[in-house]
Structure 1
Amino acid sequence: MKKFALIGAAGYIAPRHMRAIKDTGNVLVSAYDINDSVGIIDSISPDSEFFTEFERFQEHAFRLKRDQQTSLDYIAVCSPNYLHHAHISAGLRLGCDVICEKPLVPSVSILDELAVVERETGSRVFNILQLRHHQAILDLKAKVARENRAQKYDVELTYITSRGKWYMESWKGDPRKSFGVATNIGVHFYDMLHFIFGKLQRNVVHFSSDYKAAGYLEYEKARVRWFLSIDANDLPASVKGKKPTYRSITVGGEEMEFSEGFTDLHTTSYKEILAGRGYGLEDARHCVETVDVIRSSRIITPSNDEGHPALAGLIS
């Protein structure tokens, strides 16, 4: 039984980590968040210690470290994006391996800094790249490998996840903290595209705002038009009023709708990490590079057939 601590216990994604810890037969020893709306802990790990001050959480972890029987094995990081670097580094220096939500970090330079801390401490960082475990994605990857065609696939990626007015009032609506909508909700999709279609060769941005973004990515085996949005008005008519989220990939004109099948992917990710097959810093490098470029790119008008159809209502 491995001993876990969790940073960012009041966040949206934290319960998935708590359940993954429990469902893999391990124990949540302590948790931290500046907010105290963490009642979910009662149904998953009621004996867990809880702190609202990081200094007290860290001191508790240091005390546990003195005895091999109580020392923490892993720290899960579910804090706001801009705090990932600091919290991952703190976990490594506590002698723990760290499991962090996406986006791992915003830039390649910070990724390289974490690699230094890994070498200094001898501990590891693992990123939750859950789409690599989604059966529909695995099936598509296998199909692409099996066909091994010379011509690139034409791919259209659409992800719309409705968010209310609270979103822009939270840290997620602040690009200094979330790093923008493309990074916050898109980074694992860029990882997925790399996972299926190989190395990225071209990366351009056609539209970017606080609520949505669009662009074009060209991989070794695919030409991808992408559109991401948190605006419910962008949901297709077939989904609007029924579901708040729409995920779709069209490959060669054939649609693969994969809105389902996400329930247990965090638990699968944890199982793989605990079995020694987790995705580390170098696995995350490609998607970190992708969002780093997207954030710094100037907006260009799409040429030829590189623009996503959703752009028609956004640009003239």
Structure 2
Amino acid sequence: MKNFALVGAAGYIAPRHMKAIKETGNHLSVAYDINDSVGIIDSISPDSQFFTDFEHFYQYAWQLKRDAKKALDYVSICTPNYMHASQIAAGLRLGCDVICEKPLVPNSQDLDELKKVEEETGRKVYNILQLRHHQAILELKDKVATTSSDNKHEVELTYITSRGRWYHTSWKGDPRKSFGVATNIGVHFFDMLHFIFGRLERNVLHYSDDMKASGYLEYEKARVRWFLSVDADDLPDSVAGKQTTFRTINCDGDELEFSGGFTDLHTVSYQEILAGRGYGIEDARHCVETVEHIRTQLPQPAEENEAHPMLSALNGN
């Protein structure tokens, strides 16, 4: 049984980490969040310590090191994106391996710094890249790997996840904290595309605002037109009013709708990490560099056959 700390215990994704800790037979020893709406901890580990300021949490975690049975083994991080780099480093310096939500960090410079902290502490960082464990994605990866063709696959990626007015008031709507739509909701999809189709060769942004983004990516094995949105008005008529999220990949005319199948992927991710097969800094580098480039370029007019079908509506055509 390993001892875990959870940083960001009141967040949306935290219950999946709590569930994963419990289902892998481990112990949530201590949790931290500036907000105290964390009653869900009682269903996982009611004897867990809880702190609402990071300094007291860190002091408590440091003191646990003096008792081999109570010392923390892992720190799991579910906080807003802009906090990840500093909190990962803090977890490593506590002598723990660190499991962090996506995006691991916003840029490659932070990745390089964390590698240095890994070397200094002898501990390791793991990123939750849950789509690499999704059965439909694994099947598509196998299909692509076994298909022999001189032509690249033609792919459309569409991800629409409806968000209300609260979104733009929260940190997620602040690009200084979330790093924008493409990073906040898209980074693990860009990881998925790299996982399936290989090295990225071209990255062009066609549109970006506070609620949606669209562009073109060319990989070793695929030409990808992508569209990401948090606007419910973008949901297709086939799902509008029935579900709030729509995820689909169309590969060479075959549609892979993968809105389901996400329930247990965090537990699977934890199982893989605990077995020594987790995804580390270098595994995350490709998607971090992809979104970093998207954030730092200006939108360009789409070349022929490179525009996502929804792009024309964004441009008012």
Fold match, TM over 0.5?
A: yes
For residues 89-133 of structure 1, what are the alpha-carbon distances to aligned partners after superposition, in whole Å with 9 as ceiling and x for unaligned?
A: 000000000000000000001100000000000000000000000
Alignment match, 2:227: 227
Alignment match, 1:212: 212
CA distance in 2, matches of 1:152, 1:267: 34
Alignment match, 1:307: 307
- Residues paired across the two proteins, number: 316
CA distance in 2, matches of 1:130, 1:252: 24
Alignment match, 1:187: 187
Q: Kindly, what percent of the aligned residue pairs are identical? A: 70
Deviation at 1:67, TM superposition (A): 1.6
Alignment match, 2:199: 199
Amino acid of the residue matched to residue 48 of structure 1? Answer: S
SS in 1 for 2:216: strand
Amino acid of the residue matched to residue 79 of structure 2? Answer: S
Amino acid of the residue matched to residue 245 of structure 1? Answer: T
Deviation at 1:45, TM superposition (A): 1.3
Alignment match, 2:67: 67
Alignment match, 1:175: 175
1:264-283 alignment, distance < 5 Å = 264-283=264-283
Alignment match, 1:27: 27
SS in 2 for 1:236: coil
SS in 1 for 2:112: helix
CA distance in 1, matches of 2:129, 2:149: 27
CA distance in 1, matches of 2:301, 2:10: 41
Query: Are positions 1:41 and 2:44 aligned together?
Result: no
Deviation at 1:197, TM superposition (A): 0.1
SS in 1 for 2:39: coil
Deviation at 1:178, TM superposition (A): 0.2
SS in 2 for 1:309: coil
CA distance in 1, matches of 2:25, 2:148: 40
Deviation at 1:44, TM superposition (A): 1.2
For residues 65-94 of structure 1, what are the alpha-carbon distances to aligned partners after superposition, in whole Å with 9 as ceiling and x for unaligned?
A: 112111100000000000000100000000
CA RMSD of aligned residues (A): 0.5
Deviation at 1:148, TM superposition (A): 3.0
Alignment match, 1:239: 239
Amino acid of the residue matched to residue 134 of structure 1? Answer: H
CA distance in 2, matches of 1:161, 1:4: 30
Amino acid of the residue matched to residue 52 of structure 1? Answer: T
CA distance in 2, matches of 1:121, 1:43: 33
CA distance in 2, matches of 1:18, 1:148: 43
Deviation at 1:156, TM superposition (A): 0.1
CA distance in 2, matches of 1:60, 1:307: 52
Alignment match, 1:260: 260
CA distance in 1, matches of 2:219, 2:266: 27
CA distance in 2, matches of 1:290, 1:35: 32
